[in-house]
Structure 1
Amino acid sequence: MKVSDEIQELIDEVSFRKSDSKDYERMKIEEISREFKEIMKFQQESFRKIEEFEKTNQNKTEIAEYIKLLCNNTFQREIMQIQEVYLKKIDAKYPRS
């Protein structure tokens, strides 16, 4: 099964994100917010591409499922990292009374 260039590019982009973990601890709250917004936008675009792939390649459901799994795992891991650091920084900047 040959994977379309667009889907191969998506797999490469997601794999790169997976291997290019950022040091959120060193970022300011504003930078973390920007990163969070960027990952959500990338996630939406990725799932749109996957949906298009599924519509045009109905006989390649295994590839589509693999890409969904890869994307979900990568995005979930990255979002959890961002949330953890973001909440720590918010708590440190705005301590509860």
Structure 2
Amino acid sequence: MSDSTPPKDGDFASWVDEKSEALKFELGEKFPVPPTELHSPSVHVETGRQKLEEVLLEHEEPTPEFLEELKALENAAPLSDDELARQALEAGGDDGDNKTPE
């Protein structure tokens, strides 16, 4: 940032943007962001658990844990209407208030 030529009339905003981008780059080179230490082969990096949307929509390769969970869900007994109603009444909906179920 030694080359600090003053801006011409009307170019002050672009000059400030240019200098701030140069400073960001310079600081990024001096102080790189370390990688996260949460990387584990048994835990999905972003969410802790892989989601169906990630496999179907984002074309991620399903993890063995995801496939096990999917198989357990397929083999589970169906819920009764009473159980579904109970779960619906306990769910808080979008606002998180279980006094006003949706």
TM-score by length of 1: 0.29
Specify which structure has the higher proportion of helix: 1
Q: TM-score, normalised by structure 2?
A: 0.27
Structure with the bigger RCO (C-alpha within 8 Å, sep 6+) is: 1
The structure with the largest alpha-carbon Rg is 2
